[in-house]
Amino acid sequence: MKLSTLKNHSRDGRLLVVSRDLAWAVDASDIAQTLQDAIERWSSVETALRSRYDALNEGSLAGAFVFDSQKAAAPLPRAWQWLDASSFLSHGERMQKAFALDPIEGVEHTPLMYQGCGDDFLGAHDDIVLPSETHGIDFEGEFAVLVDEVPMGCSAQDAVDHIRLIVQVNDVSLRALAPREMKTGFGFIQAKSSSSFAPVAITPDELGEAWRDARVHLPLKVEWNGKWFGHAHGGAMHFGFHQLIAHAALTRRLRAGCVIGSGTVSNADPSVGAACIAERRAVEMIEQGAPQTPFMRFGDRVRMEVFDLQGQSVFGAIDQRVVSGDRSCA
């Protein structure tokens, strides 16, 4: 099943069911007004949503209209909690080697995770509005999952059953601001602006064989200003999403609608490119002694898209540009 959120005059938009080929959509607000509403009442609304999805795919549903991803908000425009991990170890290893950092003890056994800002997610085609190019503007291609209510102490085995939807993310990072915040040990605030989401959220069964071990076994294709940047494969996650959920829920319950990210998709094979500029720069530092690739400038565009085993776009594309924003506080 594929779901999206239509922008309207509210903060949370209106829930849509989208066809498998992303061509058509139909209103679903009579079943659940918003995606948050659907996640909170999943057991009581899933059957009705799936029935509408099946009818939409069969072409037998009155009221269907052409799906326009330009009018879509983030599937979940705001979340109670946004937890982002770093579960592709090759990314951390490259950064560690490039900057001569001490290894993090136990990183192979305990996931790295921080709590980000979930109150202002961007749609797939929304501009990334930022105050300064000097902040080191970077994109980060990731996957993430939305969970229903997860009890404290949930095991990784049980956590799989709490994954309701999968989304694709551009977790925008400001690299010049990150080092100081990392040193404080308190986590990111200024270095992480609003994250962007592909227009459609999907249930795990939509991936078929590409959903195994709570991982997305598909490449994430990234283009920067129309040029190939990378196609790292999501199956290389060291920790699956079930393990990330269990880690987050060790000492607290997770409310329905919590979003848990994979961290930058990264592969050990350098020929697949990267999903963020920082990793390419790290490779350049290792191989050439200094970074060659600059960070993003105002007017730059980034595009991210995932295709299934049949070549069909899975989540729709993230395609957005970076623009200068007004620094004044009105």
Domains and CATH numbers, the chain: 2-70 (no CATH), 76-324 (3.90.850.10)
Q: Model-level pTM?
A: 0.96
Cross-strand partners of 66: 24
Could you tell me if 28 and 72 are in contact, meaning their C-beta atoms sit under 8 angstroms apart?
no
Q: What is the pLDDT of residues 21-62, one digit of tens each?
A: 999 999 999 999 999 999 999 999 999 999 999 999 999 899
Q: What is the pLDDT of residues 53-106, one digit of tens each?
A: 999 999 989 999 999 999 999 999 999 999 999 999 989 888 888 877 777 788
Q: What is the pLDDT of residues 192-223, one digit of tens each?
A: 999 999 999 999 999 999 999 999 999 999 99
DSSP codes joined into one string, 99-128: TTPPPPTTTTTS--EEEE--S-PBPTTS-E
Cα–Cα distance measured from residue 266 to residue 215, given in angstroms and rounded to the nearest whole number: 13
Share of the chain above pLDDT 90, in %: 86
Strands 2-6, 14-18: pairing kind: antiparallel
Q: How confident is the model at residue 268 (pLDDT cuts 50, 70, 90)?
A: very high
Cα–Cα distance measured from residue 308 to residue 93, given in angstroms and rounded to the nearest whole number: 29
181: helix, coil or strand? Answer: helix
Closest CA to 36 of 77, 84, 83: 77
- H helix and E strand count, the chain: 7, 20
Give the distance from CA 289 to its chain's centroid. 32
Q: Which residue type, as a one-letter code, is found at position 294? A: P
Closest CA to 316 of 162, 166, 204: 166
* pLDDT of 142 over the 90 cut: yes
Cα–Cα distance measured from residue 123 to residue 16, given in angstroms and rounded to the nearest whole number: 15
Give the distance from CA 227 to its chain's centroid. 21
Tokens of 3: 């779901």
Which of 123-127, 172-176, 317-321 is predicted least confidently?
Answer: 172-176
Q: Which pLDDT score is estimated for 328? A: 54
* pLDDT of 252 over the 80 cut: yes
Could you tell me if 53 and 2 are in contact, meaning their C-beta atoms sit under 8 angstroms apart?
yes
